[in-house]
A and B are shown apart, each in its own frame.
Chain A
Amino acid sequence: MAKNVLILADIRRQKLRNVTFEMLAAANTVAEGGTVSVAVLGSGVESLVGGLGDAGADTVYLVDAPELANYTPNAYKKAFMEAVRDANPDIIFMAHSAVGKDLAPVIATRLGAGQVSDIVALEGSGDNLTFTRPIYAGKAFTKVQVTEGKVIATVRPNNLPPAEGSFGKAGTVKNLAVSFEAQDLSTMVKEIIQKASTGVDLSEAKIIVSGGRGVKSADGFKPLQELADVLGAAVGASRGACDAGYCDYALQIGQTGKVVTPDLYIACGISGAIQHLAGMSNSKVIVAINKDPEAPIFQIADYGIVGDLFEVVPMLTVEVKKALA
């Protein structure tokens, strides 16, 4: 049975993130002839709407307003609900990102709907749509269905397959006028301090170079950062490194912290506590570098080098540079 699907485009620093295209591809497999639309919300985001037809959207809802320059739940709720009114979706997808994670439960509550968070796969269609999602940060998984009403899901980046080729859909742009009132602006972003200096975000990174207690100091992260720069990777850390004050908690990967599934995870000086393994063991390829041959991280690593990270990592940087030249 045809289902209408509405997606929230995931935008970071005025760019569409890949997960938007992953969601569009998924939407086209579950719509079964229904309409696929995408909502592009922000300020100065009009240039992002081109090409969304090829990516699988029949309709593109554009709300371009200064009030949407920074994400706030109530303003985004108002704008998104305008798109909901017009699209009348049976299924809503948002990214499991800073914005989607926060907005989806708001919309689900407004619609009295069930939500499945952080999905990594989906199967079936129509009323038999089943989502797979991690629990205990990936120590286990569940399959979940929404039993009645609208279906809302947040999608983990880098997991659903992107489309092969173009959908060649119309991508008709509908400008929605939204007037914001005081209650829509009940939270205000005063300032944004950009900390992720390299701009490669952990949750969407294809490659992550991660450090543990073995890095020994904040300075110890430098060789890891150099390797990450060469690979176009993000830098992460274990709880041990964060607790020791070597790096910001924003970098922490694990059951407390971020759960990541990159193509390549390079663990440097990380022993592999269960709570860390939960956050990264579903990475496609895992490399472990550790002095201790008994470290548990080697039990789940595809490739292991027993050695001092301060010796191995710089050598790796040189070798990767050669390989990429």
Chain B
Amino acid sequence: MNILVCLKQTFDTEERIVIENGKIKEDGVKFVINPYDEYAVEEAIRLRDELGGQVTVISVGPERAEEALRTALAMGADEAILADDPALFGDEFTAAKVLAAIVKQHPFDLIIAGNQAVDDGSGQVAVRLAEELGIPHISTLTKLEVNGDKVTGHRDAEGDEEIVEATLPVLVTAQQGLNEPRYPSLIGIRKASKKPLSKVTLSDLGLSAEDIQPKTTITETFLPAPKTAGKILSGDLADQVKELVSALKTTEKVIG
């Protein structure tokens, strides 16, 4: 079974955001595999170990994203592809077109991606990719089973669990709880440096700049107004609780 995994390199979720000259500052930031994509990588490796085949990890992003792909290789993926040509960067529309062009050069049975990235959080690219490829998708999975060509996914739908079936080829997206991603072993890290990692450009993919022109533009990036610490209540605990409830009811008008 050939499994493709789409991954994005993102800021570690413990990073604070600093804006400089209207842009988010990247200096000194710790980068990781987008946590939802990490579930995707882990799931792909487990399925490959169970069913045989090959796991290829694909990323569209700057040169630094190579580190995330190497981490995925160290976890156990077999091959990596990085689209680091700036001509391939744009919005979600662009990313889906680029991924579709890469995927079309690689035979696959299953595509796994995270359900969203923790940076942009738009949750569009994987679903757009499935639609570009004309294959079914099942999103936000907390459990995935593959039996022959039948795929059963347990989908997190706002707290409810939907059990959904489809037939390969299919694209699925990972939700938290799907698995517990492994840490790369020392042997894994050593092997990763020897595994194939190829880079692709606009012309390699037979795309024109016009085909992948983004449809959206960001006009401003800003931080929310800082939240100031409020009131730490004091006195007898029973009085604190009374004061709180009264404030919520009368001052804030959020209860009652």
Contacts and interface: CB of A to CB of B under 8 A. Distances in A.
Contacts of B219: 130, 143-145
Contacts of B27: none
Contacts of A286: 227, 230
A206 B161 CA distance: 23
A147 interface: yes
A105 B219 CA distance: 22
A162 interface: no
B186 interface: no
Contact of B93 (A108, A140, A259): A108
A144 B216 contact: yes
Contacts of B14: 273-275
Contacts of B237: 305, 307, 311-312, 315
Nearest to A141: B222
Contact of B218 (A108, A144, A252, A273): A144
B68 to A, nearest CB: 16
Given A12-B158, A73-B137, A130-B219, A255 B118 contact: yes
A228 B229 CA distance: 24
A201 B159 contact: yes
Q: Which of A70, A116, A139, A293 has the most CB of B within 10 A?
A: A139
B132 interface: yes
A19 B31 CA distance: 35
A256 B118 contact: yes
In which size bucket is the chain B interface? 35 or more
Q: Which of A140, A201, A316 has the most CB of B within 10 A?
A: A140
A304 B216 contact: no
Interface string A263-278: 1100000000111001
Interface in A140-175: 140-149
Nearest to B229: A299
B93 A118 contact: no
A105 B92 contact: yes
B207 interface: no
Given A105-B123, A117-B123, A207-B255, A72 B164 contact: yes
Contact of B123 (A101, A194, A252): A101
A87 interface: no
A44 to B, nearest CB: 18
A197 B91 CA distance: 38
Contacts of B167: 186
Interface in A285-322: 285-287, 293, 298-307, 311-312, 315-316, 319-320, 322
Contacts of A190: 152, 163-165
A192 B161 contact: yes
A110 interface: yes
B188 interface: no
Interface string A170-200: 0000000000000000111111111110000
Given A117-B121, A324-B256, A139 B215 contact: no
B119 interface: yes
Given A98-B140, A196-B159, 9 more contacts: A139-B224, A143-B221, A146-B215, A242-B176, A256-B13, A273-B14, A305-B232, A319-B241, A319-B242
10 contacts: A108-B93, A115-B124, A135-B119, A140-B19, A142-B221, A142-B222, A144-B219, A303-B233, A303-B247, A312-B237
| Closest 7 pairs (CB-CB, A-B) | A114-B215, A196-B159, A249-B177, A302-B230, A117-B122, A109-B131, A105-B127
Interface of A: 12, 70-74, 97-98, 101-102, 104-106, 108-110, 112-118, 130, 133-149, 186-196, 201-203, 206-207, 231, 242, 248-252, 254-257, 259, 263-264, 273-275, 278, 281-282, 284-287, 293, 298-307, 311-312, 315-316, 319-320, 322-324
